[in-house]
Amino acid sequence: MTYERIVVLGGGTAGWMTAAALATGLRNTVVELVESEEIATVGVGEATFPSIRAYHQILGISEADFLRATNGTFKLGIKFRDWRVRGEDYYHTFGNFGQLDGSDALWGQYRRHVNAGLGSFGEQCLPTVMAMHDRFCAPGQDAAAFNYAYHFDANLYARFLRDLAMARGVRRTEGKVVDVTRKADGGVAALKLDGGRDVKADLFIDCSGFASLLLGRTLEEPFVDFSRWLPVDRAWACPSAPVGEDLTPYTRATALTAGWAWRIPLQDRIGNGHVFSTRFIDEDAAREELLRQMDGEPLAEPRLLRFTTGHRARFWSHNVVGIGLSTGFLEPLESTSIYLVQAGIGRLMPLLQRGGAVPPAAVEDYNTGLVRQFERIRDFILMHYCLTARRDTPFWNAMAEVELPETLAYKLHAWRQTGALVQYDEEGFDGHSWLAIHAGMQHWPQRTDPTQTQIPVEKSLEWVRERERQLAAAVAPLPTHQAYLAHVLGA
Ligand SMILES: Cc1cc2nc3c(=O)[nH]c(=O)nc-3n(C[C@H](O)[C@H](O)[C@H](O)COP(=O)(O)OP(=O)(O)OC[C@H]3O[C@@H](n4cnc5c(N)ncnc54)[C@H](O)[C@@H]3O)c2cc1C
């Protein structure tokens, strides 16, 4: 069967990202999006991953138009405060560490001689040095230099994509789905709207958010629960007024009593939130903790969001493909939800573009690939918690003792034993990212690769010092993030 009519249920970030991609990539397919203004979107997905730039490129979206429409800013990475111990911070930016993680893997030398007047590990990474000094400048033609992402207002982003998708032919239907009719094979035949209309399609994309109306409630696809590894289950979100002149080109993630707080700078306000576990702190205390550590005055009452970490066992079942929160949620520490939305779209589009029926083997491959992507990111996020040296609250004690998934346990073992940065299939984060967290958490191998000891110490230390000097010199003349953004917006 070919998919002549596709219906997207839900008009949050996932729904409009999917509809815009379908309208751009499938010229002969009718695409309809059903959404209800009565049911609010999550609307707090404000920090992203660099892959979003590729999505914009494929859709032909100009960076300046997008930043203007969404109050967007640039993001070099994340600054982690108080994660290993209180009072310490480190960065995870989208860059590399030169010879420290190149074929010579000089991190071993660095580590042994760290007292020889070397700067922090982050000073070997260009975007980290930029972040430390609130500087930003796009890498231009030298894409290998580093990568970057954005912060934006998620509600404005959905609106921006809605206009783009509708201009490319997507039909928008306002209506609340009150019932779902099934086909004889168990798939979905039609969505019944509150006005009485039946919306039929060959393929339904479930972007209904945590409600998971089609994949979860209708098809009863089981939920694979990750909360024994990632126990956070609530978030308070609250915007605040900007303070001071500095627009930081990074997200800040501060470890608190029983979770962590995000700080995301937009052009007109700061997005704040506290992600926490109700096993260790109650909602009222978590709300107070968020407000206490915010830099500026709150601009609204904090809003509570409830979730369980994990994912649906399958993302595609019968004639329903789930994309976005309907398929699951990890937690926002590494800003990976919109990236996973994009991963779903990226896998789906070529299957639909080939025409004809998508065979069961391809559907299975789609499901296996996305399950793996969720598991890899789960491991990466869990690594931030389990390497903590904090023992000051029951939450951090529990996180240090979590029984790790085998996949992560093996990665940490291989690193400790030999300094190998093991990578599996479907990784969301490359070796540079893993190294940034190992280094930031001061989690170093017990042994050094014998080949490293053959490089004379003085020579390797000189390389490290020279890179530090070069990066500092390269960053000094760059514009501040604020100035660069003003230039892009004005262009
Ligand atoms: C606390 C928190 C922080 C987050 N931070 C980030 C971040 O920094 N970075 C990131 O990438 N992601 C983040 N996310 C995730 C991000 O917000 C979502 O992945 C993204 O917004 C996609 O959401 P969605 O479109 O799947 O769902 P939603 O935004 O919930 O949209 C659901 C849509 O379905 C519609 N709908 C539901 N039921 C019906 C019905 N019966 N009839 C008709 N329409 C219906 C609603 O009207 C709505 O339009 C965060 C999420 C949470 C909870």
CATH code for the domain in which residue 348 is found = 3.50.50.60
> Hey, which of 42, 162, 191 would you mutate to test ligand 1's pocket, going by the most ligand atoms within 8 Å of its Cβ?
42
Is residue 325 in a domain? yes
Domain that holds residue 480: 78-147+234-306+376-491
Residues 196 and 301 in one domain: no
* 94-103 confidence digits (pLDDT tens): 999 887 765 5
Residues 416 and 483 in one domain: yes
- Among candidate residues 218, 176, 220, the one with its CA nearest the CA of residue 195: 176
Is residue 56 in a domain? no
Residues 137 and 199 in one domain: no
- Given this model, what pLDDT does residue 293 score? 95
Residues 172 and 319 in one domain: yes
Whether the CB of 12 sits within 6 Å of ligand 1? yes
**Is the pTM of the predicted complex or chain greater than 0.85?**
yes
Ligand 1 center to 42 CA (angstroms): 4
- Among candidate residues 466, 475, 486, the one with its CA nearest the CA of residue 100: 466
Whether the CB of 45 sits within 6 Å of ligand 1? yes
Residues 193 and 238 in one domain: no
Residues 318 and 288 in one domain: no
Residues 200 and 326 in one domain: yes
Is residue 66 in a domain? no
- Given this model, what pLDDT does residue 143 score? 67
- Given this model, what pLDDT does residue 245 score? 62
Residues 481 and 352 in one domain: no
Work out the angle at residue 335's Cα, subtended by the Cα atoms of residues 332 and 337, and round it to the nearest 5 degrees: 80
Residues 258 and 277 in one domain: yes
- CA 365 to CA 363: how far, in whole Å? 5
Is residue 55 in a domain? no
Residues 10 and 120 in one domain: no
- CA 256 to CA 276: how far, in whole Å? 9
Is residue 367 in a domain? no
- Given this model, what pLDDT does residue 140 score? 79
Is residue 62 in a domain? no
Is residue 52 in a domain? no
Please tell me the chain's helix, strand, coil percentages from 3-state DSSP, rounded to the nearest 5: 40, 20, 40
Residues 261 and 319 in one domain: no
| Number of domains the chain contains | 2
Whether the CB of 52 sits within 6 Å of ligand 1? no
Is residue 450 in a domain? yes
Residues 460 and 316 in one domain: no
75 is catalytic: yes
- Given this model, what pLDDT does residue 262 score? 98
Q: How far is CA 452 from the centre of its chain?
A: 34
Tell me which residues of the chain have a pLDDT lower than 70: 1, 45, 101-110, 112-116, 143, 245, 448-453
* 35-94 confidence digits (pLDDT tens): 999 999 998 868 999 999 999 999 999 999 999 999 999 999 999 999 999 999 999 999
- Given this model, what pLDDT does residue 418 score? 80
Q: Which amino acid is at 437?
A: I
- Given this model, what pLDDT does residue 105 score? 60
Given 75, 183, 192, 459, which residue is catalytic?
75
- Given this model, what pLDDT does residue 456 score? 78
